[in-house]
Structure 1
Amino acid sequence: MTLADQRWLIFCIASGVFASVMSTSMLSIAFPDLVQFFSISYETLQYRNILFFTFFAVGLPFFGKITDRIGARLVYLTGLSLFVLSCLISSVMTHWYGFLFFQSTQAVADAMIVPAIVTLIRHHFPDERVGWAFGWFSATLSLATIVGPALGGLILKTYEWHALFLVLAFCALISLILGWIRIPAYSTDEKPSGNASIPWISSLSLLAGIIILQMFLLEPSNIGMLVAALSALGGFCYGEARHMPLLPKGFYWHTRFLNACVRVFLIFMVINTIALYGPSYLRDVHHWPTDRIGWVILVESVTGMLFANLAGRAADRYPLSAMGSGMGLSLLGISLLLWTAFGVGSIWMFLFIYLLIGIGHTLTMPAQNKIALLSVPRQQTGNYMGLFQMIQFLTGAFAGGVFGSRVETDGVGRIDPFGFRWTMWICVGLLAGAFITVLVDRCLSKRRTDQSDAFDACH
């Protein structure tokens, strides 16, 4: 496969989540409009985030296993088709519960697409080009986040929020056509296994348990919800023990993979918290119009696209250094964002903040994904990386459940400075924990190198 063919292929693969990434940034700007349209509070709005991210996250290892069983291309194209349908129906919803249902359907579609994409990268690119592939993948995602906030702000300035979903459906349809035409059926080493068990009990029990647990976090006085959540998680343990496991067998022996899972949880708790509440913070506290918010957030996206190729190359050569440097820049940006909640902040400061966060995320993610991807068995890529991505995207549900009621401490349906400051302090602590996992990874790499040198010396 030539370099041009590889670029075309990674563009087609990455375009599958283009609309999904745009939906996150567009809807984060539209949250105040959703609150008004459905006559709900920010706390009630978090049920959308809880359901969306939980269906998405729990579906990742499930559809990862399905991908290993029937092949990545089929799962990818099916997920895109479902995404188009769910967006079209969400655009005409006028009832809150109907909107929640079809947003959950959209999350299922995303859960089909993402593990299929990672599996396609693993099977169609050599190991020494995986970081490069994830770099271009990040560039495509950055393009989506460039278009999303600016386009979303302009749409909301002229039309109702319903129009956002029509745009998303159109973009996903384009990706579906590209994938159908350009993505090969199988690579030379991709061998779908048709006899793998489907973990229905584990998946449904885990889904119910996490949803109920998140609702308990919103209403901690409701002990019945806690009991129900623990019962559902007990059903998950039963399903795992009945030889229909959702989680990959023996994954807990992969020390580097487990360390990567801890790190991705901490990093994405921070990323999703800022993505969920940053735009609303600018609207409610600094009283910015939606189009200005879109252009400021655009800085992070442009930075991501410009530095994506460099970050991918750094991930192939110095993954741990790239990751540590990226987290350091993100920490600086979040510290400045925390400072603005004390009443300080011009548009230039916010531009600088999102520039730092953009460079930080761009450096971190290709290295993080490569370390996790190459630490798992090739023929179980979908199942392992589905688990990895489940942990990554469950943070969206946790960010909504944990911080939803705390960012609006005045209880009047808007974000206030005190609640946002408290949330940003937590984000600083989470990033500090992520730094520790990088140090652990360095120790694991050094130990593995020392063992390899000792083996060579003996032979």
Structure 2
Amino acid sequence: MTWVQQRWLIFCIASGVFASVMSTSMLAIAFPDLVQFFSISYETLQYRNILFFTFFAVGLPFFGKITDRIGARPMYLTGLSLFVLSCLMCSVMTRWYGFLFFQSTQAVADAMIVPAIVTLIRHHFPDERVGWAFGWFSATLSLATIVGPATGGLILKFYEWHALFLVLAFCALISLTLGWIRIPAHHARENPSEDASIPWISSLSLLAGIIFLQMFLLESDNIVMLVTALLALGGFCYGEARHTPLLPGGFYRNARFLNACIRVFLIFMVINTVSLYGPGYLRDVHHWPTDRIGWVILVESAIGMLLANLAGRAADRYPLLAMGGGMGMSLFGIGLLLWSAFGIGSIWIFLLIYLIIGIGHTLTMPAQNKIALLSVSRRQTGNYMGLFQMIQFITGAFAAGVFGSRVEAGGAGKIDLLGFRWTMWICVGLLVGAFVTVLVDRYLSKRRTDQSDATALAVDKSVEGEG
């Protein structure tokens, strides 16, 4: 492919999650409006986050496994079609439970799209350009997060929250059209002899287990939720051992992939916590209007788009250095956000905070994705990366379940300053843990290099002996 064709293809592929990313940032600003419209508490609102992120996360390895069998392009187009339908239904909902149902449907659609995108990148770009492709993929996502908060803030200023979903459906329809026209077809299956069974038992058991576990974390005195979660997780273990497994076989022996999974969980716990509660913190504690919040958050996305190409190139050349430097910037930004919770409310401080966090995320993500992607076999890309992305996005449900009731001021539907402060301290600890995994990755890389050198030396000695 030519230089122009490569950029056009990665833009078309990445546009599949454009509306989804917009949805996350738009609804984060609209959370207080949802609380008021449906007459619920901020804690009850977290059931939306729990269901959305759990359906999305558990669906990733499930649809990743199916993507490896039927092909990435059909899965991509099906997911986008379902996304358009679910957004249109959300736009007309007036009942809380109906809204929850179609938000869960939207999450299923997202779970179809994401592993298909990663598989398309693996199939259409060489290994030495994977970091570059993920860099431009991140740029497209940054563009979505630029458009999302600003657009969402303006819409909420003049219209009700229902209008958000009409905009999302329109954007997804454009992505669907681009994908149908521009993304080339690829052979459907890398391994035609693979068993075509679908892991229903494991998937449904894991889905139920995580949902009930999050409900227990949200209502810590409800022992029934905990028992149900443990039974469902037991069903997942049974499905993995006795029926078609959801998880890729032998993944626990891939040390580098496991380390990447731990790291992405820690990093995205922080990212999702700030995304979920940062806008509400600015509205409820600092009393900012929605349009100002949208423009401040826009800074994070703008810097992500501007630096995406540089971050992708850094990921191809120095992945561990780029990832470590990015996490250092994120830690500094979270530290400043914690400092703001002690009475600092200047708009310039928050502009600096979101600028620094944006630089950190932009540097970290392409390197993180490349390390995980190249640690697995090409024929199991969808299944492995579905698992990786499940761990990445299940943090949204954990962030909602763990922190939802703790950031709220006594069930009043508003963010509590002290609760937000403690949440930021926990985020600092999570990022420090993520730094440790970079050191582990460096050790694993060095050990693999030493083993390769030893193998090469043994071969040379064998050849000399034969000579």
TM-score over 0.5 for the pair? yes
* Structure 1 residue 191, shift from structure 2 partner: 5.5
- Aligned residue in 1 for 2:463: none
Amino acid in structure 1 at the alignment position of 2:42: Y
**Alignment RMSD:** 1.1
Cα distance change on mapping 1:451 and 1:345 into 2, 3 Å: same
- Aligned residue in 1 for 2:33: 33
Q: Secondary structure at the match of 2:249?
A: coil
- Alignment TM-score, normalising by the size of structure 2: 0.97
* Structure 1 residue 408, shift from structure 2 partner: 1.2
Q: Give the 5 Å matches for 1:36-435.
A: 36-186=36-186, 190=190, 195-435=195-435
**Identical amino acids, percent of aligned pairs:** 86
Kept in 2, the 8 Å contact 1:54–1:397? The answer is yes
Q: How many residues align?
A: 459
Whole-angstrom distance in 1 between the partners of 2:23 and 2:190: 31
Whole-angstrom distance in 2 between the partners of 1:442 and 1:160: 50
Whole-angstrom distance in 1 between the partners of 2:39 and 2:189: 53
Q: Secondary structure at the match of 2:196?
A: coil
Amino acid in structure 1 at the alignment position of 2:237: C
Kept in 1, the 8 Å contact 2:150–2:295? The answer is yes
Whole-angstrom distance in 2 between the partners of 1:24 and 1:426: 22
Q: Secondary structure at the match of 1:343?
A: coil
Cα distance change on mapping 1:354 and 1:259 into 2, 3 Å: same
* Structure 1 residue 164, shift from structure 2 partner: 0.2
* Structure 1 residue 248, shift from structure 2 partner: 0.2
Whole-angstrom distance in 1 between the partners of 2:410 and 2:424: 17
Kept in 2, the 8 Å contact 1:257–1:376? The answer is yes
- Aligned residue in 2 for 1:439: 439
Whole-angstrom distance in 1 between the partners of 2:451 and 2:372: 21
Kept in 2, the 8 Å contact 1:264–1:392? The answer is yes
Cα distance change on mapping 1:193 and 1:291 into 2, 3 Å: farther
Structure 2 portions without partners, runs of 5+: 461-467
Moved beyond 3 Å, runs of 4+: 187-195
* Structure 1 residue 452, shift from structure 2 partner: 1.2
* Structure 1 residue 372, shift from structure 2 partner: 0.1
Amino acid in structure 2 at the alignment position of 1:154: L
Whole-angstrom distance in 2 between the partners of 1:190 and 1:318: 30
Amino acid in structure 2 at the alignment position of 1:197: S
Q: Deviations over 1:2-32 (max 9, x none)?
A: 1211111100000000000000000000000
Amino acid in structure 2 at the alignment position of 1:153: G
Kept in 1, the 8 Å contact 2:68–2:189? The answer is no
Question: Which stretch of the first structure deviates more once superposed, 240-249 or 86-95?
Answer: 240-249
Kept in 2, the 8 Å contact 1:326–1:364? The answer is yes
Amino acid in structure 1 at the alignment position of 2:6: Q
* Structure 1 residue 193, shift from structure 2 partner: 6.0
* Structure 1 residue 345, shift from structure 2 partner: 2.5
Cα distance change on mapping 1:266 and 1:68 into 2, 3 Å: same
Amino acid in structure 2 at the alignment position of 1:300: E
- Aligned residue in 1 for 2:451: 451
Amino acid in structure 2 at the alignment position of 1:179: G
Q: Deviations over 1:285-342 (max 9, x none)?
A: 0000000000000000000000000000000000000000000000000000001111
Whole-angstrom distance in 2 between the partners of 1:174 and 1:88: 15
Question: Which stretch of the first structure deviates more once superposed, 180-189 or 391-400?
Answer: 180-189
Structure 1 portions without partners, runs of 5+: none
